[in-house]
Chain A
Amino acid sequence: MALSAKDKATVWQTLNDTRGKIEPSEYKNYVFGVMFYKFLSEKAQKWIDGMLGADESWTEVWADDAESAASEMKSELGYAIKPGEMFEDWQKAIDTGEFNIMKVSDSINHFNQSIAENAKSVFGGIFDDMDLTSSRLGSNAATRTSTMMDWINMISKIENDDSTDVLGDLYEYLIGMFAANSGAKAGEFYTPHQVSDIMARILTEGRENLDDYSLYDPALGSGSLLLTTASYVKSGKVSYYGQEVITTTFNLARMNLLMHGVPFYNVHIKNGDTLEDDWPDGSVNGIDSPRMFDAVMANPPYSLKWDNTGREDDPRFRAGVAPKSKADYAFLLHGLYHLKQNGRMAIVLPHGVLFRGAAEGKIRELLLKERHIKTIIGLPEKIFTNTGIPTIIMVLEKNRESDDVLFIDASKGFEKQKNSNKLRQEDIDKIITTALERQDVDKYAHVASMQEIIDNDYNLNIPRYVDTFEEEVPVDAKALLSDMREINKEEAKLTAEINQMMEELVGTNPDAQETLDLLKQVLK
């Protein structure tokens, strides 16, 4: 059974209670590391249980011939774990009072040495962010040991179960919580599930039953976009490609995919700068050989500064080089470059890409002329954890027969929360239904012809196409008239009454009487 929302909240609470002085952004590396080791151990144990006879034990088999035991596990799982170094063994050591933090570092060192050749890119250095000698854990080995024990005890309590990925589910929840609670800077690895869901459903619609499906996210983050998209693919093999420039985030993404049950041989993730060199495959023996994908998706950093010098000959940027202060179109063109002829792409970008001029204007015009832009969805502001700016999802295809563009103004459909806005299920469904039906919806969506777009000088600012303007409520003339009559009547009555009362006033000295005589005239 998956964890309930309450269970997850309890875990989050426990995490906060045991965090001590460690920053959330750093703390998550330890928590996720321990969770991941538990996951790997349980996976290994399950494999062992299936392999060994009733009278055999992993310790015996390993003692018999360590090398062949390890290599059998490696060929199946991509890694091997020595007997006595499973997560369960850590817990046992704690229970019997024999635990030392060295046990964790030894286990991880041995794990690093037991990675299969073909799984190096998947598992290599995956625990590197878990620095067990850091003084943040404690000033000496004893306090570090005790900190580590707390965390292992906590993670130990999470019951994993075969039928659903409890750990994967929890992992994703915690990524979201860490993103929301680590300040603006740290949210960069996280795309809210509601946005991933919209992109995933548009990308996979009608393609759920493909035998082979390849996905690529050139600005990977924690990998949740890939996972959400894959969750709509019902059968067949899915291969996951992605690139992430920040090493810690790259590690997060690898763990995320694996803990969601993706076989290691389907994970193709690289730690690198997407804009710098082309990948996957890129130039092979001097020939451009971009790998092409069924679906490309990305939520890249908005308006990133990048080095755009000497990019004119880069085949990816044939449509134009994005300005150095804003890499938005560079990410877009990179993704489009890797899209199969019949593939689909969805990318989150800031509003500016719709109307900014200069180089970006030229790129936009070319994309429109070549019929690549299919749909533009304007999202509400404040739906991301690390920025409040309004964003859009742009859907692109390579070979479209039609040149129209569907505009959806979804900016007004959300639920207000404390510091952010959240898309509700009904908002998500409305966006997806509208995107798939491609029909005009009053004050919400419009299918614009190329002529309309040309008339607007290729400016794609959404209000030019979707009229969400609310007319002013007409004044009720009848009510106005009767109100005014009533006021006039009342005013006349009051004035008369006041005048009558004023007549009864007297001044108690000559000056006052003089003033009073004047005041009495005021309302006459």
Chain B
Amino acid sequence: MTNKKNVPEIRFEGFSGEWVEKKLGEVAKRIIRKNKNNEPLPPLTISAQYGLISQQTFFDKQIASKDTTGYFLIKKGEFAYNKSYSHGYPWGTIKRLDKYNKGVLSTLYIVFKATNISSQFLIAYYDSNCWYREVSKIATEGARNHGLLNISPLDFFDTKLYLSIEDSEQAKIGSFLSNIDNLLTTSKQKTEKLKSLKKALLQKMFPSEKQSTPDIRFEGFIDEWNKYRLGDVVNFINGRAYKQHELLDNGKYPVLRVGNFYTNEKWYYSDLELPEKNYADNGDLLYTWSASFGPHIWKGKKVIFHYHIWKVELSEKLKLNFTLQILEADKSQLLNNTNGSTMIHVTKAEMENKIISIPSIPEQTRIGQLFAKIDELIAMSEHKSQKIEELKKALLQKMFV
């Protein structure tokens, strides 16, 4: 974007002219239309991922009051700017209404429509980071603005942007980047479908409570599965509860906490020499049992696992990959049975008293192998979506001024 000649670094063949600088107010018009007749329209919110979407769909409940006469009435094709920042979106998000013909929006949003600019181009432009710098200049800090950026509509329409003077170039960029977006959506849908495939297989390849054999199994296996109390075939070992002052910034062993499996990248260390059972080695089966829960195979060097994590020691009756899938299947059942509450806590006794069906070791091995491959495929698919996102980002970085 540091280009003296005002041309994008990458553009479609056949276009060569310099782009021109405009104020947003010159190419778009602010909309201040209120829902004065109190039409029963869906109150909307902006999600970075889904764009303008009804509150009912997004939050599973409506936040706006019944009387929405004070709200803006936004029509399909019009844009809205949500001035609140969130992780990864430091200056908020700007999206176009595509999903519904009409909706209502809080007056905290700035609503506008494209007048002298390709609407599709504008969508792509606001998907890029090109507008951050301009908005950062006009945002003012105030005392009570937690989460909400202090930006006046007047200043917002004074922000500058560069655009091609040729409508066809704008349109082409807009539809191209929209296609990339669609590819990304398709790719994510594909991952979801792979997960459904796995679920379908999990449902059929393990016997139900009443069955002694599963509906689908590998050819050549005919023996009945045996039922066991989980606590009789595995041993759950709880991690050591560290006091905050015992956690060091560096030391001999990393201390693995629940958060480290998910988003937390901060590691603590310990120099304590503990009994062997308190350490997890590469390939050990662990289970996080508070807040975020589920089985994990530990991949990494030797660590001390913290409280809220069990190490699952297997008896000779169980194979690792098979046990992982049993616990996975059990986890989705647990999730189904909780009424959407986020804090789930399972006790050791509850786990130990679960009844599980187990086949012979060779059958376990085959089942474990198949699901390990499917898990890998799902991971690959997710990875692919990330790469498409990077591709989009690379293009956004180069295709605007």
- Assembly CA distance A484 to B1 (angstroms): 26
**Count of A-B contacts judged by CB separation below 8 Å:** 110
B370 touches A487 (CB 8 A): no
- Assembly CA distance A501 to B218 (angstroms): 9
Question: A414 to chain B: closest CB distance in Å?
Answer: 15
B394 touches A474 (CB 8 A): yes
Which residue of chain B is the closest to A411 with respect to CB atoms?
Answer: B141
B22 adjacent to chain A (CB < 8 Å)? no
A490 touches B380 (CB 8 A): yes
A464 adjacent to chain B (CB < 8 Å)? yes
Residue interface bits A491-520, CB-to-B below 8 A is 1, else 0? 100110110011011111101100110010
Residue interface bits B114-145, CB-to-A below 8 A is 1, else 0? 00000000000000010011001111111100
- Assembly CA distance A463 to B91 (angstroms): 14
Question: B311 to chain A: closest CB distance in Å?
Answer: 29
- Assembly CA distance A509 to B208 (angstroms): 14
Residue interface bits A221-246, CB-to-B below 8 A is 1, else 0? 00000000000000000000000000
Which residue of chain B is the closest to A390 with respect to CB atoms?
Answer: B141
A522 adjacent to chain B (CB < 8 Å)? yes
Which residue of chain B is the closest to A388 with respect to CB atoms?
Answer: B143
B397 touches A472 (CB 8 A): yes
B215 adjacent to chain A (CB < 8 Å)? yes
Interface of A is mostly: helix
- Assembly CA distance A491 to B190 (angstroms): 13
A519 touches B200 (CB 8 A): yes
A501 touches B200 (CB 8 A): no
A350 touches B143 (CB 8 A): yes
B200 touches A515 (CB 8 A): yes
Known: A475-B390, A498-B370. Contact between A504 and B384, CB under 8 A?
no
Question: B21 to chain A: closest CB distance in Å?
Answer: 15
B381 adjacent to chain A (CB < 8 Å)? yes
Number of interface residues of B (CB under 8 A): 41
B137 touches A516 (CB 8 A): no
A389 adjacent to chain B (CB < 8 Å)? yes
A355 adjacent to chain B (CB < 8 Å)? yes
Partner among B129, B200, B218, B387 whose Cβ is within 8 Å of the Cβ of A504: B218
**Chain B residue contacts of A420, Cβ below 8 A:** none
Within 454-500 of A, Cβ neighbours of B (below 8 Å) are at: 461, 463-464, 467, 469, 471-472, 474-475, 477, 480, 483-484, 487-488, 490-491, 494-495, 497-498
Residues of B within 8 A of A (CB): 1, 129, 132-133, 136-143, 193, 197, 200-201, 204, 213-219, 366, 369-370, 373-374, 376-377, 380-381, 383-384, 387, 390-391, 393-394, 397
30 contacts between A and B (CB under 8 A): A351-B140, A355-B140, A389-B142, A389-B143, A469-B132, A469-B133, A471-B1, A475-B390, A480-B391, A483-B383, A484-B387, A487-B383, A487-B384, A490-B376, A491-B381, A491-B384, A494-B377, A494-B380, A495-B377, A497-B373, A498-B377, A501-B366, A501-B369, A502-B370, A504-B218, A506-B218, A508-B215, A509-B215, A515-B200, A523-B197
Starting from the known contacts A352-B140, A464-B137, 16 additional A-B residue pairs (CB-CB under 8 Å) come to A467-B133, A469-B132, A474-B394, A480-B390, A484-B391, A488-B384, A494-B373, A494-B377, A505-B219, A507-B215, A512-B216, A515-B200, A515-B215, A515-B216, A519-B201, A522-B193
